[in-house]
Amino acid sequence: MTFAREGADTVVNYCSNEEAARETFEKVKAMGRRAILEKADVSSKTEVNAMVGEAFSKFGRVDILVNNAGIIKRDSIQDMKDDDWARVLDVNLTGALNCVRAVLQPMISNGYGKIINISSIGGLVTSAQGRLSYTVSKSGLIALTKKLAIELGPHGINVNAIAPGAIMTDMLCAGRSEEEIERTVQESIRLTVLGRMGQPEDIANTALFLASEESSFITGQVIVVDGGRMNFFSHA
């Protein structure tokens, strides 16, 4: 919705949570912007290509790609299942690559594009609490961002990543009891220098900046949005 408020036509994609996606879709339309609601598993090139094809059919071009699909497994090397490892990397890393490849040639032809990958501070530092596949996938996404920035810069395409800290989203709460969620929230707040949880708007506003002309000389960068949490770690 942040992008729609700035005048962008939007593709709202989902894989499982249709209710939330449809709510966003309706809000975008209520702002007077064109919108498409699509169901596509980003790990499937076929589904991604169909989604992007629909966007080009309705909008005529795609200028901005935000790779925001992500899943998490709280695994460790000792209890990790092969299927879980493959699924996390398929969605979090290969999914982003699939989406980039789907929009790449038209962006190159236009000599313009903004690609924004949503990684995590987990891709920059590791914790002692499992999340092996998630950490590896988010680290890989940062490496992909930097490599794409080098390859696509000559074509007028900016590629950057955002590394959120603890953000109050469904992913943070998934599979946890209310008591566990509360503990996680309080611990996350304790570890930030700003003393609050991050909100989805904090990430959306950063993505908006990276999609704007105000960031035209920024590429290959990782913008940390964590309330100062990594600074806290470095001075602990």
In tens, the pLDDT along 178-215 reads 888 888 889 889 989 999 999 999 999 999 999 999 99
pLDDT value of residue 234: 52
In this structure, is residue 34 part of a structural domain? no
In this structure, is residue 229 part of a structural domain? yes
In this structure, is residue 56 part of a structural domain? yes
In this structure, is residue 108 part of a structural domain? yes
3-state secondary structure of 139: helix
User: How far apart are alpha carbons 232 and 123 in whole angstroms?
Assistant: 17
CATH, residue 179: 3.40.50.720
Confidence of residue 236 (pLDDT cuts 50, 70, 90): very low
In this structure, is residue 29 part of a structural domain? no
Domain that holds residue 134: 40-235
In this structure, is residue 134 part of a structural domain? yes
Residue positions annotated with a catalytic role: 134
Burial degree of 189 (CB within 10 A; 0-12, 13-18, 19+)? middle
Indicate the average pLDDT of the chain.
Answer: 92
Mean pLDDT across the stretch 80-92? 95
pLDDT value of residue 127: 63
pLDDT digits (tens, 9 = 90+) for 17-29: 899 999 999 999 9
Confidence of residue 47 (pLDDT cuts 50, 70, 90): very high
pLDDT digits (tens, 9 = 90+) for 103-156: 999 999 999 999 999 999 999 987 656 789 999 999 999 999 999 999 999 999
Are 94 and 44 within 8 A, CB to CB? no
pLDDT value of residue 178: 84
pLDDT value of residue 1: 81
Number of domains in the chain: 1
In this structure, is residue 228 part of a structural domain? yes
Chain centroid, CA 188 distance in Å:
20
Q: Is the pLDDT of residue 235 over 50?
A: no
In this structure, is residue 25 part of a structural domain? no
Q: Is the pLDDT of residue 232 over 90?
A: no
